[in-house]
Structures are given as structure tokens and as C-alpha cells.
A and B are shown apart, each in its own frame.
Chain A
């Protein structure tokens, strides 16, 4: 992960990581309790409405089938609306200083209305970045969603920046 952050990533926020010793280091590997959701068609519809995405496949099952889907599909970032329990509980974090730096969604298969998904989020990495305005803590949160057979459905990685 460290190599990904420093070399593979062109984001200026992440350049100049000089110190991987983080006050959150001991939290790496912490994992949330699992939570299980059924993806609801109405939730997909409300999400698409909020985004302003008028594609009828998100609201109308016949339109979804006509477009080749077996059921109503979720828009790609809908999975952000399925919220895992938070593995950061109890950590000393100033929530006003939090920024969302990066987000990566990897789909092992598409998400559809009616899917039952179990989500677990873990703290995958913690490091420190030195910037112009001082040190910042970086946390990588990784959510894995799997189906009732335990097969992975998607992985969501968030890079969270905590200004000091």
C-alpha cells in the first residue's frame, strides 16, 4: 500500500510522504462488525434522482431488462450509500478536520436490486504526510462486500486525510 501511495499515485496530496509512523498505526487491521443489507430498488431510484441521473434502468424494471439487465442495476457509486459499521470508533480523530482524498471502487460483479450484501470495513493503512500546512494523517479504509455465499461483490477503498 505504501508503494501504491508514493509511487503509483500522482495525487499531489500524497506526494511527499516521508514518515510512515502514524499515531494510528496500532489501529491498522481493525475491522468493523459485519452489517448485512438488502439492496432496495427504491433506494437505487432515490440515489439516481439525487444524482440527477435520469437513466430509466434505475427506476423501471422493464427498461432495465430491455437494456440487458436481469434486474434493476445499481449506479456505480450507489455502493457508497451502503454504509458499513465504522472501525474507527474510539480513535482520537477530530472529525471537523477530515477530508476525503481518494475513492476507489472495484466490482467483482455488478450490484443489483435484491442483492443481499454483508459489509465489513477495516483500517487497511495509516501513515503521515508532511505538507505545506504541516503534517496530516492518512487513513485507508477498505470495505469488502460479499454475498450470502461469501463471494466478494465489491471492494471500496477510501483515503481519508486528517488535517492536524
Chain B
């Protein structure tokens, strides 16, 4: 059983710079083929300076952060709010902090607050996770 207390932080996850190649790989793996994620002309037509990353790719980084800490099978809930767009070249850093300890269905859980930031310090994604500790 994992022990932790409110205020504990997860080891931060610093991702390599996102590439358009990665967005194509994510499109194929996820089935999200919106051209805004790989077609420059299409993205510019939508008012963006370049293609933009899938929001769910950033949420997957949350999954990696939490999965590294407690294992994917312990995740009871994972949620995210998409706050700002992410572009190829962005280095995304994900952080997490234990904000509450509770019991769910008689099992101990921790509630985590999660943040993803780009190099400018802008929060691109904020979210939370509930993970089983037993």
C-alpha cells in the first residue's frame, strides 16, 4: 500500500518537445484524424499559426504522470479542462500534488491536482485524478 499525505508532490514529468510527427502518430493511435492536428494549411485556415496538438495528447501526459506514480490500474478517475492550445515545439511539463485523502467504496484513495504548462508558464491543461492507494 502506498502512503502519502496532503501536500506531497509527484515527480514532475517533462516531455520532449511535441513534434508534428508525434501528432500524426497520435492521430493514428487514437483515431482522431481532425486535419487541424497535421495539415498546416487547414490549421492556418482555422486561424492558428500552425497545427495544434490534440488536447487528449496532453491529457495522456497526465495519464503518464499518474501512471508512473501509482500504476495505471489504480486510476479511478482522471479529468482535465483544456485551457490553452499546445503547438509542435512546445515542451510540456506536468506536475501533480496530493490535495486530499479519502475513502471510496471502503478503499483509501488520494485526490491529486494536476497541471500542464508550456515553456511560457501558461497552464495548458488543469485536471485532477483519484487514485486507489491499496
Contact = CB atoms under 8 A, between A and B. Distances in A.
Interface size class of chain A, counting residues whose CB lies under 8 Å from the partner chain: 35 or more
Contact of B16 (A52, A83, A96): A52
A100 B46 CA distance: 15
Interface string B15-55: 11000001001101111100000000000001000000001
A99 B81 CA distance: 11
B76 A55 contact: no
B79 interface: yes
B78 A77 contact: yes
Interface stretch (A26-34, A104-112, A127-135, A138-146): A104-112
A47 interface: yes
B116 interface: no
Contacts of B82: 99-103
A76 B56 CA distance: 11
A3 B46 CA distance: 33
Interface residues of B, number: 34
B64 A81 contact: no
Contacts, number: 106
Contact of A50 (B25, B68, B77, B79): B25
B30 A53 contact: no
Contact of B55 (A46, A55, A78, A100): A100
Interface in A66-121: 67-69, 73-78, 80-81, 83, 96, 99-107, 110
A88 to B, nearest CB: 15
A51 interface: yes
Contacts of A51: 26, 57, 60-61, 63-64
A52 B15 contact: yes
Given A102-B79, A102-B81, A103-B56, A53 B67 contact: yes
B59 interface: yes
A97 B22 CA distance: 24
Contacts of A53: 60, 63-64, 67
Contact of A76 (B22, B46, B67): B67
B64 A75 contact: yes
Interface of B: 15-16, 22, 25-26, 28-32, 46, 55-57, 59-64, 66-68, 71-73, 75-82
Given A51-B64, A74-B72, A77-B62, 18 more contacts: A11-B81, A13-B81, A47-B60, A50-B22, A50-B28, A50-B30, A51-B60, A52-B64, A73-B71, A75-B67, A76-B60, A76-B62, A78-B63, A81-B30, A102-B79, A102-B81, A102-B82, A103-B59
